[in-house]
Every structure is written in structure tokens, then in C-alpha cells.
Amino acid sequence: MRIIAGTARGRRLQAPKGDRVRPTLDRVREALFNILAPRINGARFLDLYAGSGANGIEALSRGAASAFFVDNHAESHAVIQKNLEITGFSSVGSAMRYNLPQDLGRIPGSFDIIFADPPYGYQGHHELLEGLATSGRVEPGGVVIIEHLRKSDLPETAGALNRTQVRPYGATTLSFYA
């Protein structure tokens, strides 16, 4: 797994061991950041279910002002910290171990871009989206992106969030909410 573009382009990232973490495929990450390109410069990025932190670090590499990473596993937290060091983004990235979606209110601040990649088979998409819609984490004009299995049933609306586009990539789909 590597950073695709930006100031840290080509840097290899570490990943937690085992199959608990399923990193976003490079081609899906590249497509995601091509879509987000007009929004990324200076953005505050929230990476939920962060795993290795690759998506938030990609955002930093492409010009995001800051990134906040959330994962509830100790190994993921340690790997994210290491990857921030490897890429030189320790000063603009921070990570916390929170349980989602119940700890959304503990996350400090609001964000221009929120990316969530819960484990495949996750059944709490509606609860997560409702929590994001009501927690004050989404900056006005911000976007929420959920990575999920194509066959997953995500809601069209959750609170004030409306699904604006769906982008399938093989078995993986990105759903965008604004």
C-alpha cells in the first residue's frame, strides 16, 4: 500500500496484521481523490474506521490542512501513528481510539470531508449517518463518503444528509452524502 499522489507520493505505508483491516484498493482511493480534488486543498479530513490511515494520509499528501483518524483497535492506532511519522504528517494528523458510532460526539471539531470505511458486513450505516448528521461533525457544505459493499443497503437520507452520488468499483461502492 502506497500514497498515490501529492507530497508523499510513492511512500509505502504499514498496515495492521491479519485480515481485520481491509485497506481501500489503490484504484478506488485514486478515483475517490479525483472526485474530491476540487475540495481537498486546505480541507479538514476525518478518517473513520481508519485502519492504516491511508485515506487521511492521502488527503494530507494532496493538500488537506489536517486529518483526524478514528479506529478502536490499538494496533491500528499504532500503525496510523507510525504512518504519520513515515510520511512527515505527524504535526497535522492525529488519531484517537473511539468506538463508532457511539463516540462521534467525542471527536473534536467539524470537518469538510468525512470518509468512513466500516468493516464489510457492517450493519450500522444508518446509525452512523444519523450520528454524523446530528453530531455537528459535518461542516456546512461538507461531504460524507461511505465505502461499502455494493450489495449493502444504505439510506438515501439520514437527518440532513442526502445521498448525492453512488460510485461502484467492482464489489466496492462509494456513496456520497451532502
The pLDDT tens digits along the chain (178 residues) read 899 999 999 999 999 886 667 678 788 999 999 999 999 999 999 999 999 999 999 999 999 999 999 999 999 999 999 999 999 999 999 999 999 999 999 999 999 999 999 987 898 999 999 999 999 999 999 999 999 999 998 999 999 999 999 999 999 999 999 9
pLDDT at 110: 97
Cut 0.85: pTM above it: yes
pLDDT at 121: 80
Residue 153 is classified by DSSP as: -
Give the CA count within 13 Å in the CB-facing half-sphere of 163.
Answer: 17
Contact of 82 with 54, CB cutoff 8 Å = no
pLDDT at 41: 98
pLDDT at 120: 78
In the chain, the domains with their CATH numbers are 26-177 (3.40.50.150)
